[in-house]
Structure formats: C-alpha cells, structure tokens
Amino acid sequence: MGISGLLPLLEPIKKNKHLRDYAGMRVAVDTYVWLHRAAFGCAMDLGLGKKTTAYVSFCMKRVALLRQFGITPVLVFDGGCLPMKSHTERERRLRRQEAKKKAHEELLKGDTSKAMEMFQQCVNITPNMALELIKALRKEKIEFIVAPYEADAQLAYLEKIGKVDAVLTEDSDLLVFGCQRVLLKLDANGSVVEINARDFPHVPCMKRGWTFAKFRQACILSGCDYLPSLKGVGIKKAFDTLNSSSSIERTLKTWRTFGFSIKAPKMRDGYETAFKEAELTFLYQRVYDPDKKRLVHLNEPILSDLDFMEDLCKFLGRDLEPSVAEGIAIGELNPYTLRPYHPDDDFFYEDLDAKDDEATRHHPIKPTPVPHVPKDLSASARILQVSTTANLTGQYTTKSSDSTSKFFSQPEKPTIDVDEHVYSSSFPITKNDLELKAAEPSPIASLSRFRSTSINPSDDFSYHSTVLKSKAHAVDSNNVSPVRLTPVIPPRPAMHLLKRSVTEMDSFSYEHVQIRKETTDGNKTDRENSSPANVAVESWVTEEASVKIHLESARYMEQTNPHQHRPYKPPAVMPKTKAVFGSAFNGLSTFRSSSASEQHVYQGGDNSSSLKPKKARPAPSLPKKRLGAGRPTNLIPITAFFGK
C-alpha cells in the first residue's frame, strides 16, 4: 500500500511527537487502519459469523486516547472503491477465501491456534462493521464522515479546506494527495511520528528545483496503488530520475524512444497514458464537501486537465447527486449499494458455494428499498458535465464519445459552433434540460471555482483557475454559454495575498504566492514584495515560473481577442512520438506561440518583458462559427515549465 519506500526516504524530516503536542487541534483519522487492527482481536468470531462488536470498543478506546490529550478527532471512513482497482481486489478476495477454507479445515483438525492464524488472514472490513462504529460515534457525539470513495482523498481535502489541522494514518499516500501534516505510527501511549510536507526541501533527494507536482510524479513513477512501477524502478531511481530531468513527459519519451540504446527501464505499452491517469487520480479524485454538501474534486481541475476528466469516472469516481452524497457522508447510505445500510448486504464470509447452504436459504438476500435516488445518476451528471465542460473548453477540442484512446488521439482541428456542439452531443438532452439543470446548484466541481476565492497553499494549480475565471467570464458575458454562472468574483489583489507570512518552511506555497502575484498584477514585477525567504526556498522558485505566467497570459489574450486570430498552419516539425505523447500529456496546456519572438524568449528562458499581456479589449466577442479554429500549431508543452 501507499508508496513503498517513501517513509524511509523521508526519514530526515520525520519528527517524533506526542499526541499532547496537538492539544486543541482537530485531527482527521484514517479509520480503516483502526478497524483492521481491531478486527484481529475478534478474527475468529468474525470468521465464524458470530455477532461481535469487540472491534468497536477498540476503536473507541483510541478515540478516547485522542480526546484525553485535548484533540478533537474526526473519523473518516472509506467509501466505494474505484473501479480501476477492481482487478487487485479480486486477487485479494480469492486469497481471503483460500485462507478461510484452510481455517475451517484446521478447526476440524482441532488446531485452534493455526485456525486462528488463518482467520486473521481473512479479516475483512465491511461497510456494516463501519456502521457499528458509526453508531457508537453518534452516541458519543464524535464527528465522522464517510468518504464517497477513498478516505485518503477525503482526509487530504478536509485538511485542505481547513476543517482539520492534521491527518492521522498509516498510509504514505496521504502525502501524495497533498496533505501537509501527516501523523503516522500512533501507539497506545500516544507517541506519533509527524511528517510535514513543508520540510520536503530538506530531504536530500529533493534539494533543488522541486515542486509538489514533481514530488507527486516521482511517487507515481516509483509505483503507487494506481500504477505499478516499471521493472527495476524503485523509490531511489524514481527520485533520481526526476532530479535530473526537465520534465517527466520528456523522460518517458526518451525511455520510450531510446530505451534500447541507453540504460533505461523497459517501457510497457500504454504506460504514459496510465501515468497521466494516475496523476489525475491523485489530483482530482472526488470527495465530499461538508459545507457545500455535495461532491467536489480534491483540487479544482485546470483547463488542460478538464478535457480528460470526462472519461475518467473510473479513476475519479462517478459523480453522485448531492442528496446521495450527503446520505453516504453522514452514514445513512451504504457507499457500495447507495441504499440504506442493511445487514444482508454483507456476505463476505459466505463462500461462493455457500449459496446452496441451508443457512443462506433461510436468509435470502432481498433487495433493500431504494430511497430518493434517481434511477440513473449518471444521466443528470452527464448533462451538467457536457454543458459545463463544453462551454469552458469546447473551443479547443472536440469531444467524440466513441474515442477509445482520448489521450493518444491528437485532437482534430475543431470547427465547432459552441451551441450546436452542446445540443448535438450524443446524450438525449434538450435545451430545456440544460436550462433547468443550469439553474440548480451544480454537483460538478468545476463550477465551484466561480464561487470560491479561497486559495490553498498546497494547491499548485490555483494560477490556472485565475485564467479559468477570466475565461469563463468572457464566455458568459458574450452569452455563449447556456449555463448561468454565478457572478465571477474578481481576482484578489496580489498585495493582499502577499500578506501571508512566507517562511522557510512554506516553500511550496511560496512559489504559489509568487505566481499568483504575477498573474493578478500584470505589469508589476514582484521583486520589492518578495518575501525574505531564505536560500533553501530560493531553488523552489524559478525564473521559468514567471515566464510561464507571461506566456499563458499572452495565450489567453490571443484566444479571446479575435484581432490576434491567425489561420491554422500545420506545425513545421511534429514528430509522431511528440504528437502522441505531447497531446496525451499536456493536453490543452500546450501553448501556441503567437510570434517567433515569444518562442525565442521561451527558448532563452529570459527576457520575459516582451511577453507582458497587452491591455485587454473590453468584452471581445468570440466568433460564433469556427470557434477554436486556431488550434495550437506550434505546440510547446506548458508543463515543460514545471519542475526545473
């Protein structure tokens, strides 16, 4: 589980702490670990199907331990599993069944200790076991929340929106999901190990030029739950590789192209695609927002990624109607069945052939009544998704629902009429539907950016949402969008943002703040306002970041300003591998350089002054037909600016 070998790698920044160090704080708990360990104590009873709630008291003892030291615990439970992991689930299920069979054999032989061991190996945590604990939590008025999908993402989100100050778990994945303060290895005495993401620059193998995105990529490369590593690549190789690479996509391309001649891991088919998908899963998995009472994405999707998300429900989780999402979160609905919890929903401990058993015949599994859940949840979600993404991104790409490999297909030159595009989608939606749906609060997280100005320091993509805000505003003000967006809140002045104290320990957010400043302040340079952050931080803020901003601004201006519009021109050089991987990886974040001088600047990585965005003309009207005919020609991966 998690990132194997990551914790030893982070040894230099681990801190031995005690629960009392967190007095007065709110701490989110990854409850699965507790339940799993607690279940060992009553493995035999569970295995034999006896009624027991011993595991509940174990967990409540740990809750008491936290409260004893003045901590307010928030227990987070796992929800439904992501379909992409189902193949490994089957293996585990088979192993558990095997162990259970053996346990019964040993029991008949009379070897109870051996049987016990076997029962422990087939311990499984069911939603109904979680429910037992939830009941106890309700009684004690302890806060809890059931995640729609993986608890990891939910934990990270709770910390991100400030609901908790730290996260208690055993899983190194939390760091990859973007948690700042992760507490590990809690023992019965209350001692814990803290790993804080702000200390990352002090890890020897992340000394220079690292961003959080780079860290996440290194972890994925070393092998994670969503993607096994390439043969021969472990934690060291992964971090060494990213240390000496300008970008992960470039490295993977090199491995793919020249792997035979250099010492490089052997690439398997589709690795690049799978890598991108893993990255998106860490970034955008669906979580429950307790304030908005609906599902949102862990992070706000950036423009370039938004396009890929449509087909990614199997990685991010399906969207759920707010009432259902809330029902799951508060422990009323079983996250697997989407129905109220029912004892008959658990038959983990029934063998496959047990269906013929006398016992099960007396307790046939009967369908539980379905509450106010729409028959096809995906239908309403789809409508919203189509309408929103179409209007945000339709001008850049086509959306063919039959494409099997969206990542690898270079989007055709789109010739799209936005309205037509929306209504001619393959879904049975009418204009009425759209208007109706648009008036409701949208469960699609991508809309949330229009309502929120909160900025999370660990979110390395907020810059992009600024662009999105402006873009959405432009689209909306031209009445192109059939979706009524809530008024766009103008970006906060950069000076306000800079009031945040920037410390040595704040390196990830430091880069972030600086980027924001340049975005919102346009012409100003940031020198005089730079935080006196120390040298350790310096390497995290690169000149390229600011160049990126200017390039991106220029691109935005060009696309919203018809006067700058240029006819489509095929690129001079577009090697096949680049087209394939470039489009897969960078998606819409590729940048069309509007002039040779800009390209020059980019390649030189200097002299960004010529890239200052020109003054915006008021409300430029977007061309109705052939919108987006200016599909990027000279594709420069914007992600090339990241992580150097």
Partner DNA sequence: CCCTAGGGATACTA
Partner DNA sequence: ACTCGTCCCTAGGG
Which residues sit at the interface with DNA, rule CB under 7 A? 1-2, 5, 7, 30-33, 35-37, 40-41, 58, 61, 77-78, 80-81, 86, 88-90, 92-93, 116-117, 120-121, 124-127, 129-130, 150-152, 170-171, 185, 188, 222-223, 229, 231-238, 263, 334, 336-337, 345-348, 365, 367
Of residues 93 and 625, the one with the C-beta less far from DNA: 93
Place of tokens 């995640």: 147
Q: Which is nearer to DNA, 75 or 467 (CB)?
A: 75
Residue closer to DNA by CB (options 22, 77) is 77
Q: How far is the CB of 202 from DNA (least distance, A)?
A: 18
Output the smallest distance, CB 370 to DNA, in A: 11
Cβ proximity of 591 and 551 under 8 Å: yes
- Least distance CB 246 / DNA (angstroms): 21
Alpha-carbon distance of 328 to 320, in angstroms, equals: 10
Task: Report residue 112 as tokens.
Answer: 């109870």
Phi first, then psi: what are they for 266, rounded to 5°? Answer: -80, 120
Q: Cβ closer to DNA: 116 or 574? A: 116
Give the whole-angstrom CA distance, residue 189 versus residue 65.
8
Q: What are φ and ψ of residue 317, in 5° steps?
A: 95, 145
How far is 219 from 213, CA to CA, in rounded Å?
10
CA–CA separation, 465 vs 510, rounded Å? 18
Q: Cβ of residue 266: shortest distance to DNA, in angstroms?
A: 10
Cα 17-20-25 angle, rounded to 5 deg: 100
Nearer to DNA, 96 or 500 (CB): 96
Place of tokens 């989407």: 338
Question: 152 or 307: whose CB is closer to DNA?
Answer: 152
CB of 424 vs DNA, minimal distance in Å: 35
Token pair of 207, please? 């000394």
Chain centroid, CA 412 distance in Å = 28
| Minimum distance, C-beta of residue 359 to DNA, in the bound complex (Å) | 16
The nearer residue to DNA, 127 or 457, going by C-beta atoms, is 127
What is the C-alpha to C-alpha distance for residues 524 and 517, in angstroms, rounded to an integer?
9
Q: How far apart are CB 641 and DNA at their closest, in Å?
A: 27
Report the residue number, 134 or 554, with the smaller CB distance to DNA: 134
**From the CB of 129, what's the least distance to DNA, in Å?**
7
Nearer to DNA, 71 or 133 (CB): 133
d(CA 396, CA 431): 22
Nearest alpha carbon to residue 440 among 294, 328, 309, 327: 294
Tell the smallest beta-carbon distance from residue 343 to DNA (Å).
11
Parallel, antiparallel, or unpaired for β 166-168 and 26-30?
A: parallel
**298-to-158, 258, 287 alpha-carbon distances in Å:** 9, 36, 6
Residue (72 or 120) nearer to DNA, CB: 120
Tell me which long-range contacts 472-475 makes (C-beta under 8 A, separation of at least 24). 472/392, 474/560, 474/619, 474/620, 474/622, 475/391, 475/392, 475/622
User: Least distance from C-beta 2 to DNA, angstroms?
Assistant: 6
- How far is residue 301's CA from residue 303's CA, in Å, rounded to a whole number? 6
Which of 262/535 has CB closer to DNA?
262
Q: What is the nearest approach in angstroms of DNA to the Cβ of residue 123?
A: 8
Answer whether 626's CB lies under 8 Å from 411's CB. no
Q: Give SS3 for 286.
A: strand
